[in-house]
Amino acid sequence: MGEVEAVVPEQLSVSGSVRLPEVPGFSPPVAGGVPDSPRQAGKALREKVPRASHDSLVIRADRPDMVRAVEVSSRGRVPELVPIRVGRMAASPFAFLRGAAGLMAYDLVGTPVTGVAAQICGDAHAANFGLYGDVRGRLVIDLNDFDETVTGPWEWDLKRLAASIVLAGREAGADEDTCRKAAFDAAGAYRRTMRLLARLPVLDAWNAIADEELVSHTDARDLLGTLERVAAKARINTSARFAAKSTETGPDGSHRFVDAPPVLRRVGDEEAAAVAAALGPYLETVSEDRLPLLARYAIHDVAFRVVGTGSVGTRSYVVLLIDHRGESLVLQVKEARPSVLLPQLPAVGFEAPEVTHEGRRVVLGQKRMQVISDILLGWTTVEGRPFQVRQFRNRKGSVDPTALATDQVDDYARMTGALLARAHAHSVDPRLIAGYCGKNEELDEAVSGFAVLYADRTEADHAELLAAVRSGRIAAELGV
């Protein structure tokens, strides 16, 4: 045989190594295979925004008073439910903070930001973490509320969490040193977790800190008993149990919800039909492999159900589905309003994105931040309004941070700080934030200082709201 000329593929070098082309969404190839260091870029940001500067809080002169702020945040809500929302916000300073994500975003505009963008919760207060079931019914713990999610400054989530920890600790009866230390620990756990994730291989970091390791990682052993009790309740907090307590069987064998005002009420046929019809388009937003599962259920009834503090007044429905054995699955169809953070983003250099559907924004934001998400998440439109759809009572459970023993507050702070770091690391390279946060406690100290200042500000805001309720300037239905 004659000699055969060796053919060298265009992208194969003489050494046998492949020169990969640039692909959108991937880091560009670089000499030696080592990219420019995101950690060094993070360190460089300290010159522009010193970590110690995060202790600052400047209240702007044009800040709205509490009545005005609540009225603005209530626009577009169901009018008769607004007094319930105001009443819940008036219950305590911590409850006020829960309902005032937009006001805090307004205040955060005046605080330092590094310019590093992440998918943020937008409402990362201490009560928005909890347990829920995965596809096999096992319990996971993570952030669990994404109504305000946007791409924005990671610092805003961390500062909201730290301030809420101080308020929750005060309501739990902890002394001031304990509350400040808890905020310090929340920031410290965030920083240390981000450093841990930065050191891990990318795939390991993506799925890091399994829930069974979370207590050990955050040294939250004092919280074990509380978590076990919450988990025991969560395991029985299912759609079937809710349906058994909230529905009845009619003479014709049909199942329907039972009125339980003001929280649960049946709706008229036309409204129920509109919600049921919207589940058709919802199916187009669910992963195709879930469609045979949903097809084995029949829709039986629809009811209106009032939701939590920040969302009170939004339109929210529960839809009763029944399978061939008479077992129930309840879906929640919840109105998705524009994130209250959006108007504030341009002021800190973040472009407010165009949102084609608010329900889609919420669902995609949730999937970007959680390690495991509800398999039935989707979105739809009901009579021109955007909604998100999810399982209702999917083994959900939560720790009430205001009811913790004083020696558990800092444990809970560390746990939630670690969870927040894990959530942010899904959308921003952890090496970048870890480079900025560093090894020492400078950022922890600054964030805890801010948290105390903002907790004081929130207590003053709450007192102003209470005075407005007592004087009749704003209507409130207390204790609901």
pLDDT confidence of residue 307: 86
Q: 3-state DSSP helix/strand/coil percent for the chain, to nearest 5?
A: 50, 15, 35
Query: What 8-state DSSP symbol labels residue 295?
Result: H
Cα gap 99→97, rounded to integer Å:
5
Q: State which H helix or E strand residue 469 sits in.
A: helix 442-471
Q: Is 177 left (phi over 0), alpha (psi -120 to 50) or beta?
A: alpha
pLDDT confidence of residue 23: 75
Cα gap 357→391, rounded to integer Å:
20
pLDDT confidence of residue 235: 94
CB 480 within 8 A of CB 261: no
Cα gap 256→249, rounded to integer Å:
6
Label the pairing between strands 328-335 and 150-153. unpaired
pLDDT confidence of residue 19: 59
pTM of the model: 0.92
pLDDT confidence of residue 220: 92
The SS3 assignment for 392 reads coil
Cα gap 207→202, rounded to integer Å:
9
CB 177 within 8 A of CB 186: no
- Candidates 215, 213, 234, 211; CA nearest to 224 is 215
For residue 413, CA distances in Å to 94, 103, 118, 176, 430 come to: 15, 23, 21, 15, 20
pLDDT confidence of residue 10: 42
CB 147 within 8 A of CB 135: no
Per-residue tens of pLDDT for the chain, all 480 residues: 444 344 434 443 444 455 567 777 776 655 444 455 899 999 999 999 999 999 999 999 999 998 899 988 888 899 999 999 999 999 999 999 999 999 999 999 999 999 999 999 999 999 999 999 988 888 999 999 999 999 999 999 999 999 999 999 999 999 999 999 999 999 999 999 999 999 999 999 998 887 878 988 999 999 999 999 999 999 999 999 999 999 998 888 789 999 999 899 999 999 999 999 999 999 999 999 999 999 999 999 999 999 876 788 899 999 999 999 999 999 999 999 999 999 999 999 998 888 999 999 999 999 999 999 999 999 999 999 999 999 999 899 999 999 999 999 999 999 999 999 999 999 999 999 999 999 999 999 999 999 999 999 999 999 999 999 999 999 999 877
Q: What is the DSSP string of 405-456?
A: -GGGHHHHHHHHHHHHHHHHTTTS-HHHHHHHH-SSSHHHHHHHHHHHHHHH
Phi, psi of 381 (to 5 degrees): -130, 130
163: which 2 tokens? 């301030």
For residue 22, CA distances in Å to 16, 17, 19, 39 come to: 19, 16, 9, 22
338: which 2 tokens? 């524009």
CB 160 within 8 A of CB 139: no
